[in-house]
A = this chain, B = another copy of it.
């Protein structure tokens, strides 16, 4: 069993090992690597840039993470479980409207947050690439597809709960929301502000399909008003 595999199956478990202990914090180094990949994409991040940011040298990186490609996959896992965990939270909102409202509003915040590199790593990490990165490109595409599937399933549930009109297609709504989300990522990378993204979100929410309930229109959602 190689060293980085041992690390993978023993995250944060304190086991007395013999041999020289690592001189760096595994999780912290992974965060530094995430920042580099997030900023420059997979191919745009050189081993030199990664090791410099992580504060370790190449043999240590190989021992602990197994090379550039495996490091990137571990970074993606951490990214999904950390910075974009809000997506899973949004999906558990009680209504489809609230799901989209929370998802896109938090995305507008997330994509333009000062501490974060602009844009989403899963969307932009390897949209285009050379001949050596097709597997990474494929991996990220699969992640985006899984995200869209999650949205679709949530909207199917919403329709079953009479929370979406019966003539609305969950798959089509999911692709619509994913398209908006991905466009917002490109916009953030291009310099769009949080306020500008929130205006886009507001327009999406203003026309979000809701079922007409009898009587007063009290269930009509509030229109999100944002500061430009």
Contacts and interface: CB of A to CB of B under 8 A. Distances in A.
A181 interface: yes
A43 B185 CA distance: 20
Interface in A98-154: 119, 123-125, 127-131, 133, 141, 144-145
A43 B131 CA distance: 11
Contact of A190 (B44, B131, B145, B185): B145
A158 interface: no
Interface string A59-99: 00000000000000000000000000000000000000000
Nearest to A207: B207
A119 to B, nearest CB: 7
A170 interface: no
A123 to B, nearest CB: 6
Given A125-B128, A130-B44, A183-B183, A192 B175 contact: yes
Nearest to A180: B183
A189 B134 CA distance: 13
Most buried by B among A43, A46, A182: A182
A96 to B, nearest CB: 14
A176 B190 contact: no
A220 B127 CA distance: 39
A32 interface: no
7 contacts: A40-B130, A41-B127, A44-B130, A44-B133, A141-B191, A169-B199, A176-B200
Nearest first, the 7 A-B pairs at minimum CB distance are A183-B183, A41-B128, A179-B183, A207-B207, A44-B130, A182-B186, A182-B183
Given A179-B187, A182-B183, 15 more contacts: A40-B130, A44-B133, A49-B130, A125-B128, A127-B127, A144-B190, A172-B196, A175-B192, A175-B196, A175-B200, A176-B199, A179-B200, A182-B182, A182-B187, A207-B207
